[in-house]
Amino acid sequence: MRTRTSTTRLVPLLLALLLSAVSAGAVAACGAEQAGSRGSESSPQREARARQVADAWDGSEAAGKWREGYHPMGEVVQMPEGGLRGEADRHAYETGNFGLRGNLPAAPHKDGKVTWKTGDSLTMPLMGAQDAYKALNRADGSPGARLTVTGAELGEMSVATSRGPATVPAWLFTLKGYDTPLKRAAVMPSKLPEPPVEPVEDMDIDVLSPLAGLVGVADDGRSVTVVATHGSCGDGPVVDVLESDGSVVLSASVAGAGDGICTADLRSRKVTVTTDEPVGDRMVLDAYTGQPVPYGERPGTSESRN
């Protein structure tokens, strides 16, 4: 294993806060960027748990079901050509502050098709433009700069997935002041299969803590960026890596977590970890939950690299 990420000592409380924040699409940013930082010392408990998770998933029925699904491993939103212009527009996007002028269409049909370069395809429920807009508009009319949507039409976009690049249905939103649209995938990820291993219980955060989400895998497959969480105690997140033939297991922990009382505010940080071999079609698993790390759309976090 190799060191890298994460949190405080109130695991049950922070896990509840984490699940609430991820479901709302809002994990608060915290902390300065770190480069090449090292985390807590190697823990036999952490290593044993990572091996347990890898052994449970490798060759399992759940792994087979996961590989048959549509699981994004990168952005499901594509910016207009040339990107967003100006700091105000970029801030509006990052905070999810959009405005709507006009009407948005309903989905023209019930289902859409996800297609891979291999020719494999998967039929998925198609969301309407209004639902896709709500996924973007997390701030819901908050004060400040915002991106104004004036219309939408159904098209396509390419998304990095656990099975390689896929062409997926997408809503193409017309933005005021832009000549090309902002694209948002119009299908949701497949439901995760029932994991073949239970989540951990009663383990201190300096040993193991949950990850908040997957940001993406590098084009060469040799690094993975995730969001790790922590409270006000300790030196920040660290993530260890265990690689097997079928999976890459990430074990998050909090470096320097003390025994004192900590505030329960939930902070987060992007952490990039490297792998010995390209990730390829291997599953990226969270040692704490025992499940694949879900792709997290636009988590607002600072960055560090371990």
- pLDDT digit string (tens) for the chain, length 306 residues: 443 333 333 444 444 444 444 444 434 444 333 322 333 456 899 999 999 999 999 999 999 999 999 999 989 999 999 999 999 999 999 999 999 999 999 999 999 999 999 999 999 999 999 999 999 998 877 888 999 999 999 999 999 999 999 999 999 999 999 999 999 999 999 998 999 999 988 778 778 889 989 999 998 999 999 998 766 666 678 899 999 999 999 999 887 655 555 555 667 889 999 999 999 999 999 999 999 998 876 444 333 445
The rounded distance, in Å, linking the Cα atoms of 70 and 161 is 7
Half-sphere exposure of 16 (CA within 13 A, CB side): 4
Which of 185, 213, 242 is the last residue before a domain boundary? 185
Same domain? For 85 and 179 the reply is yes
| Residue 4 domain-assigned (yes or no) | no
Owning domain of residue 59: 11-68+193-305
**Of the residues 132, 165, 185, the one at which a domain ends:** 185
Instruction: Please tell me the pTM assigned to this model.
Output: 0.79
85 exposure class (CB count in 10 Å sphere: 0-12, 13-18, 19+): exposed
Q: In this predicted structure, what is the pLDDT of residue 57?
A: 97
Choose the final residue of a domain: 185, 213, 238. Answer: 185
Is residue 287 one of the residues assigned to a domain? yes
Q: How many domains does the chain fold into? A: 2
Spatial strand order of the sheet with 247-255 comes to 236-243, 247-255, 283-286
3-state secondary structure of 50: helix
pLDDT at 170: 98
User: Which single residue is written with the structure tokens 């990226």?
Assistant: 284
Which pLDDT does position 206 carry in this prediction?
76
Same structural domain for residues 89 and 176?
A: yes
